[in-house]
Amino acid sequence: PQKEIRTFPPRVDSTSTDAQTGSAVRWSAGVVYLSVKDSQASVFRRLGIVVTRSGMSLLNTIGDSGYSFAYRHVPKSTDEGFFGRFFGKMAFWRDKPPNYSGDYEAVTQAEGENTRVYIKNADGSDADPDAAEHLLEILGMRLG
Protein backbone atom coordinates (compact mmCIF):
# COMPACT_ATOMS: atom_id res chain seq x y z
CA PRO A 1 0.00 0.00 0.00
CA GLN A 2 1.12 3.52 -0.77
CA LYS A 3 1.52 5.99 2.04
CA GLU A 4 -0.16 9.36 1.91
CA ILE A 5 2.18 12.35 2.12
CA ARG A 6 1.04 14.98 4.58
CA THR A 7 1.67 18.65 3.88
CA PHE A 8 0.35 20.21 7.07
CA PRO A 9 2.13 21.12 10.32
CA PRO A 10 5.35 19.26 10.94
CA ARG A 11 6.50 17.92 14.28
CA VAL A 12 3.86 18.22 17.01
CA ASP A 13 0.63 20.12 17.48
CA SER A 14 1.74 21.76 20.71
CA THR A 15 5.21 22.53 22.05
CA SER A 16 6.82 24.48 24.81
CA THR A 17 3.82 24.16 27.10
CA ASP A 18 4.67 25.35 30.58
CA ALA A 19 2.06 25.60 33.31
CA GLN A 20 4.15 28.17 35.18
CA THR A 21 4.61 30.54 32.24
CA GLY A 22 1.08 30.40 30.87
CA SER A 23 2.20 30.33 27.24
CA ALA A 24 2.57 27.62 24.61
CA VAL A 25 3.56 27.42 20.95
CA ARG A 26 0.70 25.79 19.02
CA TRP A 27 -0.27 24.91 15.44
CA SER A 28 -3.60 25.66 13.81
CA ALA A 29 -4.39 24.92 10.16
CA GLY A 30 -0.74 25.13 9.15
CA VAL A 31 -0.06 28.33 11.08
CA VAL A 32 2.08 28.47 14.21
CA TYR A 33 1.21 30.90 17.01
CA LEU A 34 1.97 31.57 20.65
CA SER A 35 -1.00 31.18 22.99
CA VAL A 36 -0.65 33.38 26.09
CA LYS A 37 -2.96 33.25 29.10
CA ASP A 38 -3.38 37.01 29.40
CA SER A 39 -5.38 39.86 27.87
CA GLN A 40 -4.42 41.32 24.50
CA ALA A 41 -3.64 44.73 26.02
CA SER A 42 -1.30 43.20 28.58
CA VAL A 43 0.44 40.94 26.05
CA PHE A 44 0.83 43.88 23.65
CA ARG A 45 2.46 46.01 26.35
CA ARG A 46 4.77 43.22 27.54
CA LEU A 47 5.69 42.18 24.00
CA GLY A 48 7.47 45.48 23.33
CA ILE A 49 9.58 44.99 26.45
CA VAL A 50 10.30 41.34 25.68
CA VAL A 51 11.44 42.05 22.11
CA THR A 52 14.08 44.53 23.26
CA ARG A 53 15.22 42.35 26.17
CA SER A 54 15.61 39.36 23.85
CA GLY A 55 18.37 41.10 21.92
CA MET A 56 16.10 42.06 19.02
CA SER A 57 15.75 45.56 17.64
CA LEU A 58 12.32 47.12 18.00
CA LEU A 59 11.60 48.93 14.73
CA ASN A 60 8.03 50.18 14.96
CA THR A 61 4.55 49.71 16.41
CA ILE A 62 1.87 48.18 14.19
CA GLY A 63 -1.24 50.06 15.26
CA ASP A 64 -2.44 48.73 18.59
CA SER A 65 -2.03 45.03 17.80
CA GLY A 66 1.69 44.36 17.41
CA TYR A 67 5.27 45.35 16.84
CA SER A 68 7.70 45.34 13.97
CA PHE A 69 11.12 44.07 15.00
CA ALA A 70 14.44 42.93 13.59
CA TYR A 71 15.93 39.63 14.67
CA ARG A 72 19.59 39.09 13.96
CA HIS A 73 21.01 35.63 14.55
CA VAL A 74 24.64 35.71 15.64
CA PRO A 75 26.05 32.17 15.66
CA LYS A 76 28.35 31.25 18.51
CA SER A 77 32.00 30.86 17.62
CA THR A 78 33.12 27.24 17.43
CA ASP A 79 36.81 28.03 17.14
CA GLU A 80 38.58 25.45 19.31
CA GLY A 81 42.18 26.10 18.30
CA PHE A 82 44.10 24.39 15.53
CA PHE A 83 42.60 20.92 15.91
CA GLY A 84 39.08 22.28 16.23
CA ARG A 85 39.47 24.24 12.99
CA PHE A 86 41.15 21.35 11.18
CA PHE A 87 38.83 18.56 12.26
CA GLY A 88 35.79 20.85 12.28
CA LYS A 89 36.21 21.38 8.53
CA MET A 90 36.46 17.63 8.04
CA ALA A 91 33.26 16.99 10.00
CA PHE A 92 31.00 17.24 6.96
CA TRP A 93 28.12 15.61 8.85
CA ARG A 94 27.72 18.63 11.11
CA ASP A 95 25.06 20.96 9.83
CA LYS A 96 25.21 24.68 10.36
CA PRO A 97 22.33 25.90 12.52
CA PRO A 98 19.57 27.65 10.55
CA ASN A 99 19.80 31.42 10.32
CA TYR A 100 16.43 33.12 10.86
CA SER A 101 17.78 36.67 10.75
CA GLY A 102 15.44 39.24 9.27
CA ASP A 103 12.72 41.77 9.90
CA TYR A 104 9.47 40.43 11.32
CA GLU A 105 6.18 41.55 12.82
CA ALA A 106 4.68 40.12 15.99
CA VAL A 107 0.90 40.53 15.79
CA THR A 108 -1.44 39.94 18.73
CA GLN A 109 -5.03 38.73 18.42
CA ALA A 110 -7.53 38.37 21.27
CA GLU A 111 -8.94 34.89 21.82
CA GLY A 112 -11.45 35.21 24.64
CA GLU A 113 -9.46 35.84 27.82
CA ASN A 114 -6.26 34.66 26.12
CA THR A 115 -4.14 36.13 23.33
CA ARG A 116 -2.52 34.69 20.23
CA VAL A 117 0.78 36.05 18.94
CA TYR A 118 1.58 35.46 15.25
CA ILE A 119 4.88 36.11 13.46
CA LYS A 120 4.70 37.72 10.02
CA ASN A 121 7.37 38.91 7.62
CA ALA A 122 8.03 42.66 7.48
CA ASP A 123 5.80 42.90 4.38
CA GLY A 124 2.85 41.33 6.25
CA SER A 125 3.05 37.91 4.60
CA ASP A 126 3.23 34.72 6.66
CA ALA A 127 6.70 33.98 7.99
CA ASP A 128 8.41 30.67 7.31
CA PRO A 129 6.90 28.21 9.83
CA ASP A 130 10.30 27.15 11.18
CA ALA A 131 11.41 30.77 11.66
CA ALA A 132 8.08 31.66 13.28
CA GLU A 133 8.29 28.71 15.65
CA HIS A 134 11.88 29.64 16.58
CA LEU A 135 10.98 33.27 17.30
CA LEU A 136 7.79 32.39 19.19
CA GLU A 137 9.73 30.05 21.46
CA ILE A 138 12.14 32.87 22.29
CA LEU A 139 9.29 35.29 22.95
CA GLY A 140 7.25 32.70 24.86
CA MET A 141 10.08 31.93 27.28
CA ARG A 142 10.33 35.62 28.16
CA LEU A 143 6.63 36.51 28.06
CA GLY A 144 5.80 33.78 30.54
Give the sheet arrangement for strand 102-111, strand by strand: 14-18, 23-28, 31-36, 114-121, 102-111, 66-71, 57-62
Give the phi and the psi of residue 83 in degrees, each rounded to 5.
-65, -35
Rounded Cα–Cα distance for residues 144 and 139 (Å): 8
The predicted-structure confidence for 71-89, as pLDDT tens digits, reads as follows 876 655 555 555 555 555 5
Q: What is the pLDDT of residue 116?
A: 92
Which helix (H) or strand (E) element contains residue 49? Answer: helix 40-53
Confidence category of residue 144, pLDDT binned at 50, 70, 90: confident
Mean pLDDT along residues 32-56: 89
> At residue 138, does pLDDT exceed 50?
yes
Report residue 30: phi and psi, to 5°.
Answer: 80, 5
Distance in angstroms (rounded) separating the CA atoms of residues 43 and 67? 11
pTM for the full model?
Answer: 0.71
